[in-house]
Amino acid sequence: MVEAKDTGYESTTLESFGRQAVMQTLEAELSIQGPGTVSIRFPFQSRFTQQNGYIHAGIVATILDSACGYAAFTLMPQGADVLTVEFKVNLLRPAKGDHFAAKATVVKPGKTISVVEAALYSSEYGEEKPVVTMTATIMTMLQSSKIKE
């Protein structure tokens, strides 16, 4: 199991997530399972669907990107931040259902670059079948004036 570098990582992570206007717009809620693992839940909202009534791929990519970023963020030293360098998305099934849950886990933590895997699950498929998967590369942003060793 990986260890958090910031003993207050849970409150720091939740506070950062609370500043994301896009997550508020999506009515998304972050849950921290431990260092390196988070989930984000959000309800179905028709205003975020594409022409066939499924949640738009851009929306699910946004949720998964945030989940990956926050999974990595839980492992950062105090005062550091993260940015996505790249991600790969696999759309496995249409994103339909009453609510969705994205689960992200850091696969390879690093001082500068971390690799995170995530999956989005839908209430439509009661067997916890993934709807979308993502692999993301997350960069640590060290801001020397903010970091407390």
Q: pLDDT tens digits for 68-95?
A: 999 999 999 999 999 999 999 999 999 9
Which pTM does this prediction carry?
0.92
What pLDDT score was predicted for residue 38? 98
Task: Among 3.40.50.300, 3.10.129.10, 3.40.50.800, 1.10.3720.10, name the CATH number for the domain at 9-141.
Answer: 3.10.129.10
Of 53, 47, 49, 61, residue with least CA distance to 91 = 61
Compute the C-alpha angle 134/120/93, nearest 5°.
90
Rounded Cα distance, 40 and 46, in Å: 19
Q: What is the mean pLDDT of the chain?
A: 93
The percent of residues in the chain predicted with pLDDT above 90, rounded, is: 83
Side chain identity at 85, as an amino acid letter? V
Residue 147 clears pLDDT 80, i.e. is over it = no
With residue 73 as reference, give the H or E element that holds it: helix 57-73
